[in-house]
């Protein structure tokens, strides 16, 4: 077997990824700010965009036309997204700040919508416009009590509002413990002391196992101050209770419609995870090093394969592709190694990890050259299209969010400059 060309591909693949250990070293040494790494990420994304457009898309289009290229692109993107989700579920999302943040905000969104669905059964809150409901979600804390337990006694100070999701409580008052009411799922209690400032007007105890939520007094007051509609509803409930009257809580269909509307109004900024949440998440996945490694490898596989493959149909290696990959790899390692070191990984482990990924890029190029040799043009362009689609999906899903997250107003310009840098390298070759 002729190994000269694949070995040549190995060296060029490794060269394009020297920027990985280099970026990691510089990251550990200089500890650049998030703003810097984001700007460099934008530059790298721009360079990779230009490289894949010029080398993969334009070349493939000329060789075999639109369909093999387009079909490959769609399949490549779909494959990337599938594997990305799979690795993320094993902790691979920790490889980048942006992927970790996205994972956490998706998780929060799920929790929010789940809470909204459950809160939609509470008549009291349905007086709130759906867009105000997010505030309620933030203020609710879960509680549960066992059957027979006293939740509070008559005369206690009122410190929180209770909402029942499942189970039932009994309200009784006076020396004779006269039963005033039994409240069940979807009903609230403990609002009277919060409104009047008086002590609890009755004793409340569980007559079944109860679970639900509480809202602290200060938060409840804030909600009432911000929502005249809720205030009115709570006052009505207060009066009804004083009179010993109750009304129906509303139909299930209404509740579902309301929950859907409320979900559409979830405030996206409230889903952005804080630094401490990100740190806690990375501690939770401390055993995810392999998934992170695989995640970074996944980001790099398509480009390494096409570096090797691109040498098959032209006599010289594509310097544009090498430059684009080099420039994209650099900020990737720079930003990730800072994050990894913050999460407690040792320097030697970080450097070794990026060096091994550099070698894997070389091996990918070697294989790309070996495997794609002799493929008919149509199939070759299809595979090239797959790489282009996967790279585009990777840029859109991991690089650009990282760039825009903290890059400030320079992001647009840095992307254009990166794009031009790769085009400049290309112009030198012609
Ligand atoms: P609070 O006074 O804070 O504490 C006791 C709670 O029992 C009270 O708020 C109401 O939520 C509830 N409660 C009091 N009276 C009635 C009633 N007649 N019917 C239903 N619930 C009541």
Tell me the mean pLDDT in the region 263-268: 61
- Using CA positions, which residue lies closest to atom 9 of ligand 1? 190
pLDDT given for residue 248 in this prediction: 42
Largest CA distance in the chain: 98
pLDDT given for residue 211 in this prediction: 95
pLDDT given for residue 425 in this prediction: 93
Instruction: Say yes or no: CB of residue 187 within 6 Å of ligand 1.
Output: no
Encode pLDDT of 238-251 as tens digits: 877 876 533 344 45
pLDDT given for residue 357 in this prediction: 95
For residue 201, the CA-to-ligand 1 centroid distance in Å is 6
Predicted confidence band of residue 419 (pLDDT cuts 50, 70, 90): very high
- Least confident range from 78-82, 336-340, 408-412, 423-427: namely 336-340
Q: Which atom of ligand 1 is nearest to the CA of 244?
A: 18
Tokens 């409104």 found at:
195
The 3-state DSSP class for residue 211 equals strand
Of 123, 174, 189, the residue with max ligand 1 atoms within 8 A of its CB, to mutate for a pocket test, comes to: 189
Model confidence at 189: pLDDT above 90: yes
Tell me the mean pLDDT in the region 398-404: 89
Instruction: Say yes or no: CB of residue 158 within 6 Å of ligand 1.
Output: yes
Tell me the mean pLDDT in the region 209-237: 88
pLDDT given for residue 353 in this prediction: 93
Model confidence at 49: pLDDT above 60: yes
Instruction: Say yes or no: CB of residue 204 within 6 Å of ligand 1.
Output: yes
- Using CA positions, which residue lies closest to atom 5 of ligand 1? 202
Tell me the mean pLDDT in the region 374-393: 92
Contact 36, 402 (CB under 8 A): no
Residues forming a β-bridge with 164: 212
114-271: CATH number: 2.60.120.10
Gyration radius from the chain CA atoms? 30
Encode pLDDT of 303-321 as tens digits: 999 898 888 766 567 889 9
pLDDT given for residue 261 in this prediction: 64
Query: So where are the chain's domains?
Result: 4-91+285-428, 114-271
Model confidence at 145: pLDDT above 70: yes
For residue 95, the CA-to-ligand 1 centroid distance in Å is 52
Tally of residues, the chain: 430
Better pLDDT: 277 or 177: 177
Instruction: Say yes or no: CB of residue 241 within 6 Å of ligand 1.
Output: yes
Predicted confidence band of residue 93 (pLDDT cuts 50, 70, 90): confident
Which residues, other chains included, contact 177 with Cβ-Cβ below 8 Å and sequence gap of 6+?
Answer: 203
Model confidence at 328: pLDDT above 90: yes
- Measured CA to CA in angstroms, residue 121 lies from 137, 190, 207, 257, 319 at distances of 13, 18, 20, 11, 62
Instruction: Say yes or no: CB of residue 201 within 6 Å of ligand 1.
Output: yes
């Amino acid at each position: 077997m002729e190994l000269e060309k694949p070995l040549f591909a190995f060296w060029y693949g490794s060269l394009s990824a020297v920027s990985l250990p280099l970026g990691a070293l510089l990251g550990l040494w200089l500890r650049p700010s998030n703003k810097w790494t984001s700007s460099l990420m934008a530059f790298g994304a721009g360079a990779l965009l230009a490289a894949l457009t010029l080398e993969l898309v334009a070349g493939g289009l000329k060789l075999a036309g639109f369909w093999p290229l387009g079909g490959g692109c769609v399949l490549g993107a779909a494959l990337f997204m599938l594997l990305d989700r799979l690795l993320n579920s094993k902790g691979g999302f920790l490889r980048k700040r942006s992927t970790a943040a996205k994972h956490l905000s998706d998780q929060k969104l799920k929790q929010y919508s789940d809470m909204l669905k459950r809160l939609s059964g509470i008549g009291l809150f349905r007086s709130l416009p759906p867009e105000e409901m997010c505030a309620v979600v933030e203020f609710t804390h879960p509680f549960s009590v066992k059957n027979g337990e006293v939740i509070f006694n008559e005369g206690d100070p009122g410190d929180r509002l209770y909402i029942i999701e499942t189970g039932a409580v009994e309200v009784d008052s006076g020396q004779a413990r006269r039963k005033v009411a039994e409240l069940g799922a979807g009903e609230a209690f403990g609002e009277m002391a919060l409104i009047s400032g008086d002590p609890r007007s009755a004793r409340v105890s569980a007559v079944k196992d109860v679970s639900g939520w509480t809202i602290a007094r200060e938060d409840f007051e804030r909600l009432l101050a911000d929502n005249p509609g809720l205030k009115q509803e709570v006052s009505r409930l207060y009066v009804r209770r004083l009179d010993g009257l109750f009304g129906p809580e509303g139909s299930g269909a209404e509740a579902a419609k309301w929950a859907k509307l409320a979900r559409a109004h979830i405030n996206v900024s409230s889903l952005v995870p804080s630094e401490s949440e990100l740190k806690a998440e990375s501690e939770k996945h401390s055993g995810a090093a392999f998934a992170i490694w695989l995640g970074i490898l996944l980001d790099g596989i398509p480009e390494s394969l096409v570096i090797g493959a691109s040498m098959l149909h032209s006599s010289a290696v594509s310097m544009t592709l090498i430059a684009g990959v080099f420039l994209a790899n650099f900020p990737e390692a720079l930003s990730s190694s800072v994050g990894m070191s913050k999460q407690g990984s040792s320097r030697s482990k970080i450097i070794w990890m990026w060096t091994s990924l550099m070698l894997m890029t070389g091996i990918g190029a070697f294989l790309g050259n070996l495997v794609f040799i002799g493929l008919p043009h149509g199939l070759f362009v299809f595979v090239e299209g797959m790489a282009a689609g996967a790279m585009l999906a990777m840029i859109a899903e991991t690089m650009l969010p990282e760039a825009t997250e903290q890059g400030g107003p320079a992001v647009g310009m840095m992307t254009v400059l990166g794009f031009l840098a790769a085009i400049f390298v290309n112009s030198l070759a012609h």
